Amino acid sequence: MRGFGDLRKLMKEAQKLQEELAKRREELRDTRVEATAGGGAVVAVVNGHGELQAVKIAREAVDPGDVEMLEDLIVSAVQEAQRKARELVQEVMGELTGGLPGFPP
């Protein structure tokens, strides 16, 4: 019956890991990641889940004759912020799981 004790211990550890992962996911929701484009003309802020929280645009970046450039800067800043958020998630969750299968970020 020794095997059942080991199994119970393993199940308990897995549950603790799941709880810690849930806690870290919640903390990531409150974490802010920032990226810029155009030398700081556009700033995008996302949370640790990659959800867009804010966009800041410098006045000098607003040129009614070149709206396409501003659109490109916004997309670029948002994509970079989301990439940084994904890296943060990999780092934070990887500390706990060590790349274990079945524990996605």
Please check whether residue 30 lies inside any domain of the structure. Answer: yes
pLDDT of residue 103: 54
Number of domains in the chain: 1
> Going by DSSP bridges, is the β-strand pair 52-57/42-47 parallel, antiparallel, or unpaired?
antiparallel
Domain residue limits at 38: 2-97
Please check whether residue 104 lies inside any domain of the structure. Answer: no
Please check whether residue 102 lies inside any domain of the structure. Answer: no
pLDDT of residue 19: 87
CATH classification at residue 69: 3.30.1310.10
In sequence order, what E strands does the chain have? Answer: 32-37, 42-47, 52-57
Please check whether residue 69 lies inside any domain of the structure. Answer: yes
Tell me the H-state helices in 2-64.
Answer: 2-30
Tokens of 20: 């810690």
Q: Which positions of the chain have pLDDT values less than 50? A: 105
pTM for the predicted model, two decimal places: 0.75
